Structure 1
Amino acid sequence: MSQNTFKKKLKAGNAPKKAGPGKTIFTWMEDKLDVKGILGEGVPVQLVPPVGFLVLLALIYIFSNHRAESMVRKIEKAQQEVEDLRADVTTLEAEYMQSSMQSEVAKRVAKLEIYELNQPPIKIEVKK
């Protein structure tokens, strides 16, 4: 059986560089941004609450901006529907007014052999 052994810890300056296809975007960002040079070995604990608060504010801002834009889109869509319905109502009202004119009614009832009187009606009086 083989024995368990410990891996040797590499110092910060002796870290092996990944080359070629094994290099990911995160290792590239780490190389370019030099995070360890800025922060040292770890993240200072006193910076976590203010940074977390700023991240929370940024998320709230993004969420509210998204909601506002979607609400504007819904309002514009509703306004377009209202304009379309208003145009339809105006058209229907005009057609109704046209069809309720006396000449139009006379044309329709002429098919039923009901004609318009040309003389006024006669009043019939009955004597007791």
Structure 2
Amino acid sequence: MSQNTFKKKIKKGSSSKGSGKNIFSLIEEKLNVTGILGEGVPVHFAPPFFYAAMLALIYIWSNHRAENMIRKIEITQQEVEDIRADVTTLEAEYMLSSKQSEVARKIAPLGIVEIDEPPMKIKMKK
């Protein structure tokens, strides 16, 4: 019995479109793919290649997630700083408005006046 073999194509002269080579045949010629891989694609290289490709994808995804998380943290920190500044301003306004002189100034239009003399202490005899 004879063995199966690939049929070899015989190259004819130049065609009507010039050299008759397309981009893929030029790439194959320049890279010498058949010299590196032989006549077929070695299937035993597929699992390590897919494993490395999967690791690369996981690495890219991980970096993408980390960068997104850093962006979210920076935005949140900026919001916290803004809120902290607002709280500080409100506390300062509250402390100012609770001073005795400010309270007296605010209630003066209502006709309530501040007493000038200190309160008296009432003593009871037993």
Q: What is the TM-score with the length of structure 2 in the denominator? A: 0.72
Q: Distance in 1 between matches of 2:56 and 2:37?
A: 23
1:30 is aligned with what amino acid? I
What's the % identity of the aligned pairs? 61
Q: Do residues 63 (structure 1) and 54 (structure 2) align?
A: no
- Report the CA distance between 1:29 and its aligned residue: 8.3
For residues 1-128 of structure 1, the aligned pairs below 5 Å read: 11=9, 16-18=20-22, 27=24, 30-31=27-28, 32-121=30-119
Q: Distance in 2 between matches of 1:83 and 1:17?
A: 66
Task: Please give the per-residue CA displacement for 1:34-85, whole angstroms capped at 9, x wherever unaligned.
Answer: 4344223332010000000000000000000100111111111111111111
Against the structure 1 CA distance between its residues 17 and 117, is the aligned structure 2 distance closer, same or farther, given a 3 Å change threshold? same
2:38 is aligned with what amino acid? G
- Report the CA distance between 1:124 and its aligned residue: 8.0
**What's the secondary structure of 1:117's corresponding residue?**
coil
Instruction: Give the match for residue 6 of structure 1.
Output: none
Task: Please give the per-residue CA displacement for 1:80-101, whole angstroms capped at 9, x wherever unaligned.
Answer: 1111111110000000000000
Task: Please give the per-residue CA displacement for 1:9-56, whole angstroms capped at 9, x wherever unaligned.
Answer: 8739779413xxxx5xxx388355443442233320100000000000
RMSD of equivalent CA atoms: 2.9
Against the structure 1 CA distance between its residues 113 and 49, is the aligned structure 2 distance closer, same or farther, given a 3 Å change threshold? same
Q: Distance in 2 between matches of 1:45 and 1:55?
A: 16
Structure 1 portions without partners, runs of 5+: 1-8
- Number of residue-to-residue matches in the alignment: 110
Q: What is the TM-score with the length of structure 1 in the denominator? A: 0.71
Against the structure 1 CA distance between its residues 28 and 121, is the aligned structure 2 distance closer, same or farther, given a 3 Å change threshold? farther
**What's the secondary structure of 1:111's corresponding residue?**
helix
2:27 is aligned with what amino acid? E
Q: Distance in 2 between matches of 1:12 and 1:58?
A: 43
> Which moved further from structure 2: 115-124 or 58-67?
115-124
